[in-house]
Amino acid sequence: KAGVTQTPRYLIKTRGQQVTLSCSPISGHRSVSWYQQTPGQGLQFLFEYFSETQRNKGNFPGRFSGRQFSNSRSEMNVSTLELGDSALYLCASSPGTSGNRETQYFGPGTRLLVL
Amino acid sequence: AQKITQTQPGMFVQEKEAVTLDCTYDTSDPSYGLFWYKQPSSGEMIFLIYQGSYDQQNATEGRYSLNFQKARKSANLVISASQLGDSAMYFCAMREAAALNAGGTSYGKLTFGQGTILTVHP
């Protein structure tokens, strides 16, 4: 099976702009989770989508949003970018039905730099 | 309070030797899952091993094993016969189940430690 893919891999934006990142999960997986990784805060959970519905959300401002399509592909959007949004954004894929035992498989990430 | 604590910011090991990476966790949930991931400099998180709170035996996956001490709330990763390619950042993570069962607030959410950078010397 193909792994999790994320596009683009690298992105440079300026403050105030918006950005959309894309994630395609492993075939058959219906859950997509997003994480932000920064040197200062480490890995933080953004949100999780399952069957086109957001099931869980982390503690991030409303500028961070996401959606999931019927083919399970997911996008996350960050509006009005701030310097602090510079990070590695990781997408994780899982079946979505196995509770706390479920392993998430991560994509290569999108490195976002906000200038 | 930190839910996942990795107290070793960096570790060094000689090639072919074993190394233990420490992880302690904090939860009042009787049902939870513990995971270890490896993150090379490329950035991708690679799943290594899983341990469930009700699992009777310590998990093993090839050269990786998990030293699970439930009473101490520790889940240390042991890498045997270290290889140069093992040099990377290693993360311990946890998913709690109680909130999941009660309404889903744990869906998808892994809580990660700060990580340990492992360097394998030839």
Distance from CA of A1 to the nearest CA of B (A): 16
Residues of A contacting chain B (CB within 8 angstroms) = 31, 33, 35, 42-43, 45, 47-50, 55-56, 58, 88, 90, 92, 94, 96, 99-109, 111
Q: Tell me: the pLDDT tens digits for A10-46? A: 999 999 999 999 999 999 999 999 999 999 999 999 9
- Asked whether the beta carbons of B51 and A103 are under 8 A apart, the reply is no
For residue A33, give the 3-state DSSP assignment. Answer: strand
| Cβ contact, residue pair B108, A45, below 8 Å | yes
pLDDT in the model for residue A66: 97
pLDDT exceeds cutoff 80 at A57:
yes
CA angle B14, B16, B17 (to 5 degrees): 60
- Asked whether the beta carbons of B43 and A96 are under 8 A apart, the reply is no
For residue A20, give the 3-state DSSP assignment. Answer: strand
> Minimal Cα distance from A89: which residue of B?
B43
Query: What residue ranges of chain B have pLDDT lower than 70?
Result: 1-2, 98-107
- Residue at A81: amino acid letter: L
The residue that leads in pLDDT, A1 or B119, is B119
Q: Tell me: the pLDDT tens digits for A60-98? A: 999 999 999 999 999 999 999 999 999 999 999 998 887
Residue corresponding to tokens 């998808």: B108
pLDDT in the model for residue B109: 85
- Asked whether the beta carbons of A94 and A102 are under 8 A apart, the reply is yes
**CA A85 and chain centroid, separation:** 13
Residue corresponding to tokens 């889903």: B104
